[in-house]
Structure 1
Amino acid sequence: MTRQRFVELITAEQEPLRRFLLALCCGDRMLADDIAQEAILKAYLAKDSYVEHYKFSTWLYRIAYNTMVDYRRKSSTLLTDIDRANVMDSDLRADGEFEYQELYMALESLSVKERTAILLYYLQGYTIREVAQITGDGEDAVKMQLSRGRTHLKNKLSNGR
């Protein structure tokens, strides 16, 4: 499949795919968008394995679903922590939600490259080499983005306390 053909097919499927993932993510728009981006990237990297006589949307949705499954598998410890937080009394739960909000705000303060490297490496479990392949940056650049991102997060989170 050519790059141009892939872009045409993705353009037609992008919004339906996002709606599908938004439902899978229970309304978490940011997570749905992240997974959509990762799925589209995976599809692009595997575009040569797509067989033209099959429906493109089925192939793409399968990649997106598998991406979501992988995400949930990798984040199962986070889900366990959230489940435990639901058992806590409301005051403690509110404090925990505030801490998550602080983390999200700190992540938003990073550059796009730093945030992408941090999330792919620490949240998604990709190796430095894989992050470099996904982002198109060199391995040394990814290491620098991770280092700077960690420093910025540490400073942002410690200043908030």
Structure 2
Amino acid sequence: MSQMGDISLVTQVVVFRNTKAFDQLVRKYQSPVRRFFLHLTCGDSELSDDLAQDTFIKAYTHIASFKNLSSFSTWLYRIAYNVFYDYLRNRKETDGIDNREVDTQWSTSQNDIGKQMDIYRALATLKEMERTCITLFYMEDLSIEKIAGITGCPAGTVKSHLSRAKEKMATYLKQNGYDGNN
């Protein structure tokens, strides 16, 4: 589905209150949004599902505010970004996100589980903004400009966060037995 297809669906939701059109948007973006949260929460699938659900609820209730100044996906990721940071600000737990257990139920191979856990541990060493930028750039394949639009940071700041995040993750992974060939 193209950007024009997204605009058409948004229009149907706003003008005709067509919930089936919104269902199509949810089906299209549910996996990417959930994956975005899965990386930000370092593998907590239950929290990722809750945050994704909150994102789509907010998107539906505020869909009339979508002005087509950016792509629908950028607008949706901006909502997801805000939902995550609202969660961080409002949580009352004493444990930090870095201490959460990694959920690896979906992977069947022991080797893959170990690598995935190491990636989540490396992500956990990053500051929140670094984790957000590296997740959007490498795992969601978004451009620097789109990430800047989602986070509200200038493109140069996004590049700095990416550079620092790559360096920190590389250092962590090298210290834990990865030599670049793994």
Distance 2:153 2:124 in 1: 21
1:113 pairs with 111, 129, 134, which one?
Answer: 129
Separation in 2 of the partners of 1:157 and 1:128? 24
Fraction of identical pairs, as percent: 23
Counterpart residue number, 1:29? 46
* 145, 148, 154: which one aligns with 1:138: 154
The match for 2:118 among 93, 97, 102 is 102
Question: How many residues are treated as equivalent by the alignment?
Answer: 103
2:48 aligned partner, one-letter code: L
Contiguous gaps of at least 5 residues in structure 1: 1-20, 51-62, 68-82, 87-92
Moved over 3 A (4+): 33-47
CA RMSD of aligned residues (A): 3.8
Structure with greater contact order relative to length (CA < 8 Å, sep ≥ 6): 2
**Distance in 2, Cα, partners of 1:96 & 1:133:** 33
List aligned pairs for 1:3-152, cutoff 5 A: 28-33=45-50, 35-36=52-53, 39=56, 46-49=63-66, 86=108, 93-152=109-168
Q: Of Structure 1 and Structure 2, which has the larger fraction of its residues in helix? A: 1
CA deviation digits over 1:27-78, x for unaligned, max 9? Answer: 822432553576478669854249xxxxxxxxxxxx79xx9xxxxxxxxxxx
Partner SS state of residue 126, structure 1:
coil
**Aligned partners of 1:125 and 1:28: how far apart in 2?**
21
| Secondary structure of the corresponding residue to residue 110 of structure 2 | helix
Q: In the superposition, relative to structure 1, how do residues 49 and 128 fare at CA in structure 2: closer, same or farther (>3 Å)?
A: closer
Give distance in 1, aligned partners of 2:146 and 2:170.
Answer: 24
Find the counterpart in structure 1 of residue 172 from structure 2.
156
